[in-house]
Amino acid sequence: MDINSVGIVGSGTMGLGMAQTMAQHGVNVTLVKATPGSTDKAQATLKKSLERAVSKGALREEELEGVLGRVAFTDQLDPLADCSLIVESIIEDLETKQDLFRKLCKIVPAETILATNTSTLSVTALMSVCEARARVAGLHFFNPVPLMSLAEVIHAFETSDVVVTALVNFCRRIGKEPVVVQDTTGFIVNRLLTPYILNAIRLLEQGTGTIGDIDKAMRLGASHPMGPFALADYIGLDVVNAMAQNIYEDVRQQYTATPHTLTRLVLLGYLGRKTGKGFYDYTQQPAIPNPDLARPVA
């Protein structure tokens, strides 16, 4: 099963990252903005990202226009009918994703592979709304997609081995190292990573260490490129919160429950780097630990 053209639904950070990576490896991509309206912002963001790649030597300047030319932008699903693989990367809400899959099943041929880039939702639950279930799988990339080498290929309950093999081969074609994972909430990386971040928050709440010292300890003592609080801010605290809730719903273990501090930050809209404040305050240069979190938790 050859994958010659790819449709991506969702033009946010992950969708654009996937489109850039695939286009840089010679794959034609149709990128669908999930909500109606102009795609100008998405096009400008992709071009800016490619220009950064040129400035860092990751892309030759003469290749830039060719890569851009391999990505077609639209806000309609119909142009996806000719794609051999479609990857959805929309909001992390099961019903919304299921509704999208129902629509895609009416548009694309039965042999088209339908994949989800979900980080923690059940691929089998998405598969359940399709008639041709064997062609549904998970294809989970990591942010930033052009730089992160891992891709998780998720084998859901009725995913065919042919589809899994096709996705593994495709990942290698676009420069990724694939691992095959059974459909377990959080898969491999987030199933291990989310409790790690949650436990760091509990250490903070218990007064075991400060934000800065806990991050430093994991950077220097475990050779992590960034500590758990910097990582949570980078991922987005709303995303971390959603992953924690999904995993907790599955395992019902206290170590996966959301700590009060994370809940409080999300409620206030402090989501990390993207909002300027989370566990760190990024309005300061260099960023400093959020001073509000130095106070004891009630």
Tell me the whole-structure pTM to 2 decimals.
0.91
Q: Cα separation of 272 and 289, whole Å?
A: 11
Long-range contacts of 258-262 (CB under 8 A, 24+ apart): 258/198, 259/198, 259/201, 259/202, 259/205, 260/205, 260/297, 261/201, 261/204, 261/205, 261/293, 261/297, 262/198, 262/201, 262/232, 262/237
238-276 pLDDT, tens per residue?
999 999 999 999 999 999 999 999 999 999 999 999 999
Q: Does domain 5-182 have CATH number 3.40.50.970?
A: no
Q: Which two tokens stand for residue 64?
A: 């830039």
CATH architecture of the domain with range 191-283 = Orthogonal Bundle (1.10)
The per-residue pLDDT for 1 is: 77
* pLDDT greater than 80 at residue 296: no
Contact assessment for residue 7 and residue 29, using Cβ atoms and an 8 Å cutoff: yes
Q: Which two tokens stand for residue 293?
A: 């979190």
Instruction: Name the β-bridge partners of 7.
Output: 30, 86
Q: Which two tokens stand for residue 148?
A: 């992160």
Going by the DSSP 8-state scheme, the letter that residue 272 receives in this structure is B
* pLDDT greater than 70 at residue 294: no
C-alpha closest to that of 113 among 84, 140, 93: 84
Asked, colleague to colleague, whether 5-182 and 191-283 share their fold, the answer is no
Ranges of each domain in the chain: 5-182, 191-283
30-47 pLDDT, tens per residue?
999 999 999 999 999 999
Residues 6+ apart with CB under 8 A from 46: 16, 19, 20, 68, 71
**Catalytic center residues:** 119, 140, 152, 190
